[in-house]
């Protein structure tokens, strides 16, 4: 049977409730499952029949929620074991193609990897990324880690002291296995050409082989040592 | 298992559980050859301290089905323990994980079977009693 656009969200906490509301507003068919009776009654006042009372780690609850026709299951309870197992049975038993799990304790990520539940979302990780972005010491943000594809995309801010300021793209000595893919300047982005000149304040995206990352950061003066404080802070 | 001469290591998040292990023992759990580690089964460090790497058998029997299912799979897939047994109260899930290669014990199923057997036995005794009476 072809699966349409039906989604199951498990856990009506702040994340689950708001997510469900957003999904419904953007036209999706969603059922939210909540195991706490009181919380269910609160949420039910707004979402009515779109919220179901039950413990989604029990298979019959998932079945009653119509998991066999769900295209996606999103498990965002506060319990990592629940999220992990709900996604595991959704995929392995009911053939749900897409699952998203919330990881509450980042230490549990390894268990999600082990049981093949991907992708997962960890609020701690997201906040860590924001900190890395906001604290200049890091200067370099991993946007996307495609571990299996052996490729990653990083975001760099070109500082005033950077050696690459004023250089044309075709003059850059980019490490092998790395490539600049876009430049954001003055709020608008473009794809650089060979004669694009880099300016201080440019935000550039680079796609690279993870093994080239050290060389790239060294080249751009990010990697300590001779870089000094100014370089570290500005690039 | 300890009394049978096996080497047994117990992992529990409650330090007080140690006292329960010693009920009926003449000396301490350790003196009898047992090992006890405080921690949860989701902590890899705790599993390592408890000696999972050298275990021949791993039994996941906490009071939570979900925990048991997760740690049994960790023991099986990550540490490749030869025999892994998980206690799962929910019969439906026990059945499914059994088909996924996990050895499960479902106390609910066992209790149902025992109750059924008892009820059958009692009613058949009664029936045969009645038949005798009729005859």
| The domain boundary residue, chosen from A85, A101, A126 | A126
Q: Which residue has the tokens 């992990």?
A: A84
Q: What percent of chain A has pLDDT over 70?
A: 81
Write out residues 108-127 of B within 8 Å (CB-CB) of A. Answer: none
**Contacts A84 to B, Cβ<8 Å:** 70
Which residues span the domain enclosing A26? 7-126
On whether both A57 and A27 belong to a single domain, the answer is yes
On whether both A23 and A117 belong to a single domain, the answer is yes
Residue A1 covered by a domain: no
Q: Domain containing B75 — which CATH number?
A: 3.40.50.720
The number of domains in chain A is: 2
> Residue A180's pLDDT band (boundaries 50, 70, 90)?
confident
ipTM of the predicted assembly exceeds 0.95: no
On whether both A166 and A119 belong to a single domain, the answer is no
Residue B127 covered by a domain: no
Q: Which residue of A has its CA nearest to B99?
A: A93
Task: List, for residues A85-100, the tens digit of each pLDDT value.
Answer: 999 999 999 999 999 9
Inter-chain residue contact B73 with A115, CB threshold 8 Å: yes
On whether both A103 and A161 belong to a single domain, the answer is no
On whether both A51 and A151 belong to a single domain, the answer is no
Contact residues of A toward B, CB < 8 A? 57-60, 79-82, 84-85, 89, 92-93, 107-108, 110-111, 114-115
Residue A224 has what pLDDT? 37
Residue B2 covered by a domain: no
Kindly give the parts of chain B with pLDDT less than 70: 132-135
Residue B56 covered by a domain: yes
Residue A220 has what pLDDT? 65
Q: Domain containing A214 — which CATH number?
A: 3.30.70.1450
Residue A227 has what pLDDT? 31
Residue A228 has what pLDDT? 27
Q: How many angstroms separate the CA atoms of A158 and A28, rounded?
A: 41
Residue A61 covered by a domain: yes
Residue B65 covered by a domain: yes
B18 CB-side CA count, 13 A: 16
On whether both A110 and A13 belong to a single domain, the answer is yes
**3-class DSSP assignment, residue B25:** coil
Residue A32 covered by a domain: yes
> Residue A166's pLDDT band (boundaries 50, 70, 90)?
confident
**3-class DSSP assignment, residue A29:** coil
Task: List, for residues A26-54, the tens digit of each pLDDT value.
Answer: 899 999 999 999 999 999 999 999 999 99
Residue A148 has what pLDDT? 59
Q: Which residue of A has its CA nearest to B66?
A: A81
Exposure pattern of B63-86 as b/e (b: 16+ CB <10 Å)? ebbbbbbbbbbbbbebbebeebbb
Task: List, for residues A181-234, the tens digit of each pLDDT value.
Answer: 888 887 778 888 888 898 888 888 888 887 777 777 666 655 433 332 222 222
Task: List, for residues A96-152, the tens digit of each pLDDT value.
Answer: 999 999 999 888 999 999 999 988 888 777 776 666 666 544 445 555 555 556 777
Task: List, for residues B73-87, the tens digit of each pLDDT value.
Answer: 999 999 999 999 999
The number of domains in chain B is: 1
Q: Are A30 and A20 in contact (CB under 8 A)?
A: yes
Residue B28 covered by a domain: no
- Tell if the pTM clears 0.90, that is, is over it: no
On whether both A108 and A148 belong to a single domain, the answer is no
- Nearest by CB to A81, which of B43, B44, B70? B70
On whether both A37 and A116 belong to a single domain, the answer is yes
């Amino acid at each position: 049977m072809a699966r349409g656009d039906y989604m199951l969200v498990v856990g009506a906490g702040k994340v689950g409730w708001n997510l469900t509301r957003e999904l419904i507003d953007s036209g999706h068919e969603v059922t939210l499952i909540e195991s706490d009776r009181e919380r269910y009654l609160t949420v039910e006042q707004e979402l009515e029949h779109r919220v179901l009372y039950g413990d989604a780690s029990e298979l019959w609850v998932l079945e009653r929620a119509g998991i066999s026709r769900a295209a996606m299951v999103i498990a965002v309870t506060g319990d990592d074991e629940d999220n992990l197992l709900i996604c595991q049975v959704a995929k392995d038993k009911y053939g749900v193609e897409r699952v998203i799990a919330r990881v509450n304790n980042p230490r549990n990520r390894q268990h999600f990897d082990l049981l093949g539940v991907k992708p997962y979302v960890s609020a701690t990780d997201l906040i860590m990324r924001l900190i890395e972005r906001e604290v200049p010491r890091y200067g370099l943000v991993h946007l996307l880690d495609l571990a299996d594809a052996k490729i990653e995309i990083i975001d760099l801010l070109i500082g005033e002291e950077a050696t690459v300021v004023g250089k044309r793209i075709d003059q850059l000595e980019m490490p092998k296995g790395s490539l600049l893919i876009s430049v954001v300047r003055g709020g608008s982005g473009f794809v650089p050409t060979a004669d694009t000149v880099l300016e201080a304040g440019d935000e550039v995206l680079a796609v690279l082989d993870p093994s080239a990352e050290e060389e790239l950061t060294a080249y751009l003066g990010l990697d300590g040592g001779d870089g000094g404080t100014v370089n570290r802070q500005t690039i | 298992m300890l009394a049978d001469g096996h080497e047994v290591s117990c992992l529990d998040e409650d330090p007080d559980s140690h006292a329960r292990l010693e009920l009926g023992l003449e000396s301490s759990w350790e003196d009898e050859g047992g090992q006890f580690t405080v921690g949860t089964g989701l902590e890899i460090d705790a599993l390592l301290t408890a000696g999972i790497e050298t275990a021949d058998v791993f039994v996941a029997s906490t009071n939570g089905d979900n925990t048991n299912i997760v740690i049994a799979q960790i023991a099986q897939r990550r540490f490749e323990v030869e025999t892994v047994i998980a206690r799962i109260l929910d019969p439906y899930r026990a059945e499914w994980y059994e088909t996924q290669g996990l050895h499960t014990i479902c106390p609910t199923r066992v209790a149902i079977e025992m109750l059924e057997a008892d009820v059958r036995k009692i009613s058949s005794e009664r029936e045969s009693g009645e038949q005798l009476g009729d005859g």
